[in-house]
Amino acid sequence: MRSGSDERRTGTLDRGDAVDADALARPSPETMLVEIGTELDGPVSAFGAAFWRLLAEKAPAMALRVAAKTELRELHYSDRYLVAPLPVRLALAVATSAPGFAKNTKLLLDVSTAVSDSRSGTPFRIQHNWGVDHHARDVIDAMARRASPLALVRRRDKGAMPHGRSLVLHYADRSVRIILDQGFGFWETAKPVGFDFTQSPQNQTEDLATKDFHVKAKSSGKYWGVVAPG
């Protein structure tokens, strides 16, 4: 079991802050509530493709979008808790594996202005929060640019951002909205993975983008996703 201080280091919610799955549902008949357990456990290099494959299996609307092979014009991800290297790696793996994602797809990330947590002590694992805000900003920006040359990272005050994490895919004919219960903080490394937060942002980016490891679902709770028309 993780200590309280270790839990504060991770880019996740406390259990009491978890989103109620029933509250995520939408009235449209195309809306699907997707429960995810351990299906995405495995190498981080396969996480993005596995995410979309699972959603296509469980949500007909997503399966149709995958089959359409339509170019994705814009992908917008909003997450005020995107504050640690691991969920950044996972979020961008999912983004670049999205149906129709191409080099001219615009990638838009909305994140919090402040990410460091000085109360958590010195970070040393990949799931720990950054301790220096400008390191976090530089690494997130650089990771986004690796994902798309048209990437734009917007920063807003945490209190002004919605609590729920959302991923919206904009195609020429329609949009698909995916509401994520815990964002990408639901997953952790299968074994402890160190991360050198004292490196320069450039070296942190390279390390984060290329590090090889396995991820697994956390032992407590379930992960919910809602796939709905945009």
Q: Tokens 């793996």 appear where?
A: 93
What pLDDT is stored for residue 127 in this prediction?
A: 96
Residue 31 reports pLDDT greater than 80: yes
Question: Which tens digits make up the pLDDT trace of 84-135?
Answer: 999 999 999 999 999 999 999 999 999 998 776 656 689 999 999 999 999 9
Distance CA 154, CA 6 (A): 28
Sequence-ordered list of residues with C-beta below 8 angstroms from that of 56, at least 6 positions apart, any chain: 62, 63, 66
b (16+ CB within 10 A) / e for 160-187: ebeebbbbbbbbeeeebbbbbbbbbbbb
- pTM, whole model, 2 decimals? 0.86
Residue 5 reports pLDDT greater than 50: no
Percent of the chain beyond pLDDT 90? 64
Q: Is 62 helix (H, G, I), strand (E, B) or coil?
A: helix
For 30-229, CATH number? Answer: 3.30.870.30
Rounded mean pLDDT of 145-174? 92
Q: Which residue has the higher pLDDT, 212 or 8?
A: 212
- pLDDT band at residue 164 using 50, 70 and 90 as cut-offs: confident
Rounded mean pLDDT of 172-196? 94
What pLDDT is stored for residue 18 in this prediction?
A: 44
- pLDDT band at residue 183 using 50, 70 and 90 as cut-offs: very high
Distance CA 169, CA 114 (A): 26
Q: Domain limits of the chain?
A: 30-229
Rounded mean pLDDT of 126-153? 96
Question: Which tens digits make up the pLDDT trace of 36-63?
Answer: 999 999 999 999 999 999 999 999 888 9
Q: Which residue has the higher pLDDT, 26 or 136?
A: 136
